[in-house]
Amino acid sequence: MFSSKLPAVGTTIFTVMSRLAVEHGAINLSQGFPDFASPARLLERVTHHMQAGANQYPPMAGVASLREAIAAKAERLYGARYHPESEVTVTAGATQAIYTAITACVQPGDEVIVFAPVYDSYVPGIELNGGRAIFARLRYPDYRPDWDEVRALITPRTRMIIINSPHNPSGAVWSAEDMAALEALVRDTKIIVVSDEVYEHVVFDGARHESVARYPGLRERSFVISSFGKTYHVTGWKIAYCLAPKELMAEFRKAHQFIVFTVHHPSQLALADFMTEQPEFADELAGFYQAKRDFFRLQLDGSRFSLLSCAGTYFQLATYDAIRDEPDTAFVQRLTREHGVAAIPVSVFFPDGEDRRVIRFCFAKNEATLAAAGERLRSL
């Protein structure tokens, strides 16, 4: 028998809980996908480009019009200039972009600092490339980084730091002070930053998304990754993009061309059209999801759940100490089977399974879905 490269990895919790939700007819607030329609104009443009014949391989790095639209967006939002020819690459989802950045840079024996609770794709990507994940802890209950701890974790073997803001699963949003602290930490080092910014447009209460692209000392050493799926309600398309300085992007593309090569052609053209025609769609996303956050939180008024703060993303954390004294994985399974609402246990995002009785709900749903879930959750 061969030896597994990922012996501790099984089926992801998202697959497990979504399957359980289907089996029990539960409202699925576990996996992060909307249950409402994508923009009609975007879908029309895909059909248009299919019928117009854009059904063969597009350029490896992505179609020129989409890369140009992405570069224009980065400059408009963050004042950062990325050359569309050499510094923008379209990817098959953000997970592929993150994996490709790791593959391009991490050598066997390298250390990569990640922040726990950590999204589940980061560590396998590190380990598949022979690296070692080093865990910094985001401080409960607001899930803030401790920069003194991060400084202490940096060694001569530190090759990369992976960050994620707005943060999944916590909903925390990093501040300008956080970015300045990170910028100071990596100055005069060879550390590369991978910044997972797939929820860049989902920041609430008037706050500003602090992309690493805003900070020259970070931009010069960073892969910045965002997602069309999260922005345009098309998670099933699995289309995202990566921004990086020319030298880093050259290495990224070396790996990209053999990992996936390229991405669905007519969808890229449709996204380019839609970004050009309706840039305000992304600009209005924060208000759209803030209304859903507030509606969902209102549904849990009078329940025995205790809600944590939610500054961004479309995820709401809650504790259930007043309801049951059992591990979070057991609780979400019981919640799905007996009460018809599926959620995600936050312990799965920790390397040691730290369990503070916190679970994650996705509120990227129609109000009718959220209201029905709220009725069931208030009954506990």
| Phi, psi dihedral angles at 159 (to 5 degrees) | -100, -30
Q: Give the per-residue pLDDT at 1.
A: 62
pLDDT of residue 340: 98
Q: What is the mean pLDDT of residues 7-23?
A: 91
Question: Which DSSP category does 173 fall into?
Answer: -
d(CA 344, CA 120): 12
- Dihedral of CA 155/351/101/246: which sign? negative
Q: What is the pLDDT of residue 12?
A: 87
pLDDT grade for 8, boundaries at 50, 70 and 90 = confident
SS3 212: helix
Each residue's pLDDT tens digit, 254-282 = 999 999 999 999 999 999 999 999 999 99
pLDDT in tens, 42-53: 999 999 999 999
Which H/E stretch holds residue 314? none
Quick: pLDDT tens for 74-131.
999 999 999 999 999 999 999 999 999 999 999 999 999 999 999 999 999 999 999 9
Long-range interactions of 27-31: CB distance < 8 A, separation 24+: 27/340, 27/341, 27/342, 27/369, 27/372, 27/373, 27/376, 28/342, 29/341, 29/342, 29/343, 29/361, 29/362, 29/363, 29/365, 29/373, 30/332, 30/342, 30/343, 30/344, 30/360, 30/362, 31/344, 31/362
**Above 80 in pLDDT, residue 206?**
yes
Tell me the average pLDDT of the chain.
Answer: 97
In the chain the domains, ranked by start, together with CATH numbers, are: 13-31+284-378 (3.90.1150.10), 56-278 (3.40.640.10)
